[in-house]
Structure 1
Amino acid sequence: MPPFFSNKKLIILLTSLIVLVALIGFSMKERARLTWPEQFIHDTVGGAEFIFNRPAQYVAGLFENISEIKSVYKENKKLKAQLKDYAALQAKYQVLNQEFQSLEKQLKIGSLLDYKARPALVIGRSFDEWNKMITVDKGAQQGIQKGMAVVTPEGYFIGKVTAVSQLTSVVTLITDPSESNQISAAVVNKNERAYGMIEGYNADKNVLMFEKIPIDKKVKKGDKVTTSGLGGVYPEGLLIGEVVSVKPDEYGLTKIAEVKPSADFNAIDYVDIIERTAVSSSGSGDAAK
């Protein structure tokens, strides 16, 4: 036997190459159906791809979702911080807007009244004397004197200066129930003016007691009450409040009216301190009221 055919390994290698080439050529032909070995290989590979590919896709999708959640969390945190800043800015705007409106009213009152108004900031108010007095940041160095009338930025009369230091002053409110705290006042209506005295405050009803009104004067609910200027302490015409009820006194000689203050005494932040001088009717000078 020739030595070529005695080499079994070489024969097997050549045979395998021939079969492989034949299979490659056979597989490259266009056929309607695959052989069962090809189908088996395709199905096996496809199943393996399905088994390994789907978990890989799931894991990749999971990491992508986690990344998106992180991104959404960061954006949400950023939006919350911006919302917090917006709320703070809005609150600051409201405070500044209120202060602006208050100062604007003060400027308007100062320009309309015949009295010189000195704006002041309320810096103190004790809870045990809530209805009695406040402290403001203007004193003798700013021209404040004892006895000056004090009004709100809207022009509502609230009291007078009773103590002055160099940089601050104490204002006694008209709601102080002390007997010494009396105010000469007048009722203004279409028919006539009726004079009397504010002599007390009812904290439960939040009303001032307007007493000594002549019995023959017509005073009714809704009438405005102002300072009269007759007592020599306060300027004339500063609005105090509005009549809510009227009745005769216990002797039937005078009338007593309950007056609801125009000012909100629980929210006094700024005031105007009024000098008791006014431009005369001729406009040529100042005249004391």
Structure 2
Amino acid sequence: MRERRPLRIGPILCALLVVVCVLAVVVYQREGATGPLHSVQATVAGIIAPLQGPGEAASGAVDDLGQAQADASASEETLSALKQQNAELRNLLAQAEEYRLKAQDLENLLNLKDIYEIEGMGAHVIGRSTDSWNQTITLDIGESSGVKPGLTVMGSYGVVGQVASVADRSCTVRLLTDPQSGVAALIQSNRAEGIVRGSLDGLLYLENVAADVTVEPGDVVLTSGLGGSYQRGLLIGSVVKVEGRAGDATRTIVVSPNDITHGYEDVIVVFEASGDTGGDEGSGDGASGDKGAEG
């Protein structure tokens, strides 16, 4: 039997389809809007239209979701970067404020050194006592630097205490606010003398002032130099409160404690100073400023 060959209709079918398409285009162009081809087009469009809406909406939703995710990722990265920059700026600001305060304290110390013509040595506070019965600080200089017990110690706002004991490279300073502390003092405006003593409550009290002396808030209180325990004419503080009047035996005079309220870190150990009141100067290395010595 002879093998049957498949009938090749591909080229013929393609040619017929081309002829039909051409005829359809010609008829479509010549017929009116109500022609059969236009009617078929409208019907097919009506069927497809409902299917296109959800597809376009779904596609748009996918695009929007992708964009939202991209925006969220970018926003998170930006927020993280801004937080890091903010932390760095806060750190720099804190450091700048620390440097400013340090510079201000050192400037005040230099001003006091010039005002009182102080010969002394700067020191850094390396320790503080927490016991209200024993209010002291420790400095980073000692006997090897010429420091001796009894020397006056000043902060950037005035006298803060007196050297109580000395080691080779450090010393302990008894603060004015210590309950055992006492310093001979005078009121600058009227030259009245008294004793400034520390207390357990951390306040300074001006005592032994003559009963007929009028004392007012704001009066400046200086070291008198009597007894040789403190240099003469150095600033102790100012009167902040007076309870009672002149002649009142129970009158209480409260004096501000200078640097003790400022959290000082740098001080000057005074070897010599001219003071600002003239007259003889204290030796600066005499008896201690305890109550027994000053009373």
* TM-score where L is the length of structure 1: 0.80
Q: 1:163 to 1:247 in 2, by over 3 A?
A: same
Residue in 1 that maps onto 2:122:
119
> How much has 1:159 moved relative to structure 2?
0.7
Indicate the structure with greater strand content.
1
Q: Which moved more, 1:40-49 or 1:18-27?
A: 40-49
> Which SS does the other structure have where 2:73 is aligned?
helix
Separation (CA, whole Å) in 1 of partners of 2:197 and 2:16:
131
The one-letter amino acid paired with 2:176 is: I
Tell me whether 1:24 sits opposite 2:25 in the alignment.
yes
Report the Cα distance in structure 2 between the residues aligned to 1:62 and 1:130, rounded to whole angstroms. Answer: 70
The answer for the alignment partner of 1:4 in structure 2 is: none
* Greater RCO, 1 or 2 (C-alpha within 8 Å, sep 6+): 2
How many Å separate the matches in 1 of 2:151 and 2:104? 24
Residue 251 of structure 1: CA displacement? 9.8
Does the CA-based 8 Å contact 1:280-1:287 persist in structure 2?
A: no
Question: What SS does the corresponding residue of 2:199 show, helix, strand or coil?
Answer: strand
CA contact (8 A) 2:133 2:179 kept: no
Runs of 4+ in 1 over 6 A off after TM superposition: 248-251
Is 1:166 aligned with 2:161?
A: no
Pairing 1:24-63 to 2, within 5 Å after superposition: 24-28=25-29, 32=33, 35-63=38-66
1:186 equivalent in structure 2: 186
- 148 and 142 in structure 1: CA distance in 2 versus 1, 3 angstrom threshold: same
The CA deviation at 1:140 is 2.0
Q: 1:29 to 1:137 in 2, by over 3 A?
A: farther
Deviation of the 1:80 alpha carbon: 0.7
Counterparts in 2 of 1:132 and 1:264: CA distance versus 1, 3 Å: closer
Name the CA shift for 1:251/1:88 in 2 (closer, same or farther; >3 Å): closer
Question: For 2:142, which of 139, 143, 152 is the aligned residue?
Answer: 139
1:245 aligns with 2:242: yes
* Equivalent position SS for 2:104: helix
Over 3 Å counting, the alpha-carbon distance change for 1:56 and 1:107 in structure 2 is: same
5+ residue gaps in structure 2? 1-6, 284-295
Where do 1:95-106 residues align within 5 Å? 95-106=98-109
The whole-number CA distance in structure 1 between the counterparts of 2:112 and 2:152 is 14
CA change 1:107–1:28 in 2 (3 A) is: farther
SS in 2 for 1:138: coil
Q: Is the 8 A contact 1:245 1:257 kept in 2?
A: yes
Q: Structure 1 residue 82: deviation in Å?
A: 0.6
In structure 1, the partner of 2:292 is none
Task: Please give the residue correspondences for 1:54-73 in structure 2 after superposition, counting only pairs within 5 Å.
Answer: 54-73=57-76
Amino acid at match of 1:37: V
Tell me whether 1:226 sits opposite 2:222 in the alignment.
Answer: yes
User: How far off its partner does 1:231 sit?
Assistant: 1.9
Identity of aligned residues (%): 27
| 1:36–1:122 Cα change, 3 Å | same
2:152 pairs with one of 133, 149, 153: 149
| One-letter amino acid matched to 2:170 | T
Q: TM-score, normalised by structure 2?
A: 0.78
* 1:184-225 superposed Cα distances (whole Å, 9 cap, x missing partner): 110121xx311122244251xx53222222234333333211
Whole-angstrom distance in 1 between the partners of 2:92 and 2:133 = 32
CA distance in 2, matches of 1:88, 1:256: 46
- How many angstroms does 1:23 deviate by? 0.6
* 1:257/1:60 CA distance change after superposition, 3 Å: closer
Mapped to 2, the partners of 1:123 and 1:261 lie a distance apart of 20
Aligned residue in 1 for 2:195: 197
Amino acid at match of 2:184: S
Distance 1:106 1:280 in 2: 16
The 8 Å contact of residues 205 and 254 in structure 2, kept in 1 or not, is answered as yes
1:52-95, Cα deviation, whole Å (9 max, x unpaired): 22211210121111101100110011101111111111111111
- The answer to whether the 8 Å contact 1:214/1:255 transfers is no
Residues 202 and 208, structure 1, Cα contact 8 Å, conserved in 2? no
Distance 1:240 1:31, change over 3 A: farther
Contact 2:159 2:235 in 1 (8 A): yes
Distance 1:19 1:224, change over 3 A: same
The separation in 2 between residues aligned to 1:279 and 1:245, in whole angstroms, is: 26
